[in-house]
Amino acid sequence: MSGVRISSIAASSPATGTDVAVGDELVSINGREPTDIIEYQQLIDGDVVTLVLQRDGRPLRHKVTIAKGVGEPLGLSIDSAVFDRIRTCDNHCTFCFIYQLPKGMRRSLYVKDDDFRLSFLYGNYTTLTRFTEFDLERVIDEKLSPLYVSIHSTNPELRAQMLRNPRGATSLRWLRELLKAGIEVHAQVVVCPGVNDASELERTLQDVITLYPELVTVALVPVGVSDFTLEETMRSHTADEARQVIELAEKYRLLTQEIFGRVSIYASDEFYLVAGRTPQPAGEFESLDQAENGIGLVAAFVESFAGHGDMDKLGTGFFQSVDGAPALGYRAVRTDEVRPTPAIVSRDVALLTGEYAAPILRDLLDQYQFHDVGIITVENRYFGGNIKVAGLMTGQDLQRALADVPSTTTCLLPDVCLSEGRFLDGLSPDDLPHPVNIVRTTGQDLRAMLEHARAKGLVHS
């Protein structure tokens, strides 16, 4: 049960000065008990809002009526996006990364959701195996768009096998209904070598353009395999297998352009890196809605570093426009330590990053004459396997990478590996053996900081 409490009250908002306090439990709004932040937004949209609240230490509930402008934010932040129960996933996917996590991490990381509301709010992917007629009616009536759907395979038997759920064979019928109703949908296929690649992947892509032509984007994503997987069929892609996926993606990218006049099928940047190829440039992407799936993320960073584009516009879901919605997952506060221009105090500067990003950053720095800025490549031993992205760097791996770095070196850490000031293993930057300056993970922020240091004579061309 998620529960719903007031987590903060914005200054100078309609709720300021009323008998609403941080920590109050929200019971009802205008006589209705909302089940999620979406319904909360609808109920507070009018000019008079009546709240029933329960406060710890008080035996009785109290009522608060607030007058405000129609559509004006109430000024309350809520501590949960879902007020009843998060609809957890009842699949047991062979490739699920949650099953590959080591023990001892934060409890929230082990929660699998298959909730269409979180898909709408945060861009979480749903397999639709728990989707119902009632859910379809609500999505259509409230125009909950876009949604994000995991396809994986359009072969019913294979999809049920991969999800280890017999409903996986039939649940894509809901995808057809969503598209028919005009709901915008982004899809993904987690490609597992020897399972749903090669001829099976081609069948899926053929079905995508014939059965689901309205899909806005389809992302082909490599399976993540940690050292903790217990699945014998799960392994990383070879370079040749990655190239085969890219070739299929490019074949169907051209086909969608020819048939629909737009591109909808993309291979993740990671496939290009595994194949030893340069990821596609920014001009190849009509949409960056799947940047968190690694679709165009490299291109967006390079463009941002060059002063073009705005990485702040990346991201999915409805969250930022929903009054009171909590920052969760990718949208959680990274750390309070982020500053516009973190201090560079020495002539030795080094960037910390994962194995995939290291060569890309090196080429980018050299291209813009930052030859003397170093790269510290952080090997991910915490997860192991093919986990090499900067966003999954942990405190323990950073501790090892920083152990022998000279004290005079200014180390820059991208905030993408932090959530509310902590790494995935629960450590914080304060636990590292070398101080780090945390910088927002955009090319623009990194470039601005390095240019600032260059102007002070600390970084040379």
Q: Give residue-wise pLDDT tens across range 93-110.
A: 999 999 999 988 877 788
Q: Is residue 351's pLDDT more than 90?
A: yes
- pLDDT one-digit tens code per residue, 376-429: 999 999 999 999 999 999 999 999 999 999 989 999 999 999 988 899 999 999
Give the whole-number percent of the chain exceeding pLDDT 90.
Answer: 74
Q: Which of 362, 372, 359 is nearest to 454 (CA)?
A: 372
Higher pLDDT among residues 375 and 325, named by residue = 375
Q: Which of 83, 90, 183, 187 is nearest to 135 (CA)?
A: 183
- Burial class of residue 77 (count of CB atoms within 10 Å of its CB; 0-12, 13-18, 19+): middle
Separation CA 292–CA 219 (nearest Å): 10
Q: Which residues of 243-263 are buried (b: 16+ CB within 10 A; e: fewer)?
A: bbbbebbeebbebbeeeeeeb
pLDDT class for 340, splitting at 50, 70, 90? very low
Within 13 A of 303's CA, how many CA atoms are on the CB side?
20
From 58-72, 297-311, 420-434, the region with the lowest mean pLDDT: 297-311
Q: Is residue 330's pLDDT more than 70?
A: no
SS3 of 9, please?
strand
Residues in a beta bridge with 439: 414
Q: Is residue 342's pLDDT more than 70?
A: no
Q: Is residue 2's pLDDT more than 50?
A: no
Separation CA 248–CA 312 (nearest Å): 31
Predicted local distance difference test score (pLDDT) of residue 255:
95
The backbone torsions φ and ψ at residue 305, rounded to the nearest 5 degrees and listed phi first, read -65, -35
Q: Which of 390, 381, 330, 382 is nearest to 356 (CA)?
A: 390
Omega of the bond prior to 281 within 30 degrees of 0, cis?
no
Predicted local distance difference test score (pLDDT) of residue 341:
47
What domains can you pick out in the chain, each with its CATH number? 6-78 (2.30.42.10), 97-329 (3.80.30.10), 333-455 (3.40.50)
Q: Is residue 339's pLDDT more than 70?
A: no
**pTM of structure:** 0.90
- pLDDT one-digit tens code per residue, 280-289: 887 788 777 8
From 271-280, 339-348, 371-380, 425-434, the region with the lowest mean pLDDT: 339-348
Predicted local distance difference test score (pLDDT) of residue 111:
85
Predicted local distance difference test score (pLDDT) of residue 1:
39
Q: Which residues of 436-457 are buried (b: 16+ CB within 10 A; e: fewer)?
A: bbbbbbbbbbbbbbbebbbeee
Predicted local distance difference test score (pLDDT) of residue 317:
59
Query: What is the average pLDDT value for the chain, to the nearest integer?
Result: 90
